[in-house]
Amino acid sequence: MKFVDEARINVAAGKGGDGCLSFRREKFIEFGGPDGGDGGDGGSIFLTVDPQLNTLIDFRYRRHFKAPNGRSGMGRDRYGKTGEDLEIRVPGGTYIYDQATSELIGELLAPGTRLLVAKGGRHGLGNATFKSSTNRAPRRFTTGFPGEARELRMELKLLADVGLVGLPNAGKSTLVSRVSAARPKIADYPFTTLNPVLGVVSLGPERSFVLADIPGIIEGAAEGAGLGLQFLRHIDRTRLLLHVVDVSAMDPEREPVPDIRTVAAELKKHNRKLAARERWLVLNKADILPPEVRAGLAAKIRAKLRWKGPIYTVSAATGEGCQELMVAVDARIRAVAQEAAELSVKA
């Protein structure tokens, strides 16, 4: 199924019901007085998180949503029925914007979260409401107010713990398929990953995390080249980034340091906060290298980049080093989660 990460919809809340102009008319009751009831409020529209959904593809086929109107009031002091609220189900990680102003209306993250996006119109008042000691037969009533209507833009940010970044053909998809049950498209040409892919890495009971693979990032991506930056929003909330680097073409004349710097520069242009996030280097396709080149590769790259973070040498194709990497990643994201929990308690 094709991944859809953005959608636009039109929502219109229900109109409030009109108030009623009515007088009590019964035999032997000469002055029955006003008995026109109020109308009912219009139905509102809410967005709610459904954990069973993981894309916005349904909104390609249905883009207009309208809540029921409130019913008008009636005689004998009968109030109109309130219009039922309309709930629209969306996947967790959806961000809602007002299309006209680009204002962020809200975030829908946890299952069951509800967000009011269009409030129903207020009900009109019947003439019984306007009865007073000085006005015993009012002929005044009000009509219901229209409900809110707006165009919304929805953006889905995949909820992943770890994000994979790197140039095209660095082996990110192969790594995801090696350590999880996800089966992304893998081929020997650039941009085989056209849409984000999620994989769940399971290391045992209650030891799992979500890995997100996005399309490769190339030089000039911040100005629109390639595909990667349009999907970087999906790793905005990750705890850790794995920068996958292809070292299979290593020779004395060429090093992967420029490639690493290219990706880092594009990340910084897109989002400085994302660029500053903890990032590990994963030197992939190391099985192809001669033993003498492979031996000092990590130390050489660390010295040239003055890299202070972890560097792992792996082969996604053979599985070498992948398990050790995933165990270390699991331990790190658990530690980060624990640190965040402690900070929230102190706050």
Span 57-100, pLDDT tens digits:
788 889 999 999 999 999 999 999 999 999 999 988 899 999 99
Domains of the chain: 1-156 (2.70.210.12), 162-346 (3.40.50.300)
Phi/psi of residue 148, nearest 5 degrees: -70, 145
Residues near 254 by beta carbon (within 8 Å), at least 6 away in sequence: none
pLDDT of amino acid 315: 93
Span 219-262, pLDDT tens digits:
554 454 444 455 566 677 788 999 999 888 655 445 678 888 88
pLDDT of amino acid 217: 65
**Ranges of the chain with pLDDT below 50:** 1-4, 184-194, 221-222, 224-228, 252-253
Task: Identify the CA nearest to 159 among candidates 85, 114, 107, 89.
Answer: 107
**Count of Cβ atoms closer than 10 Å to residue 89 Cβ:** 13
pLDDT of amino acid 222: 47
At residue 177, the 3 state secondary structure works out as helix
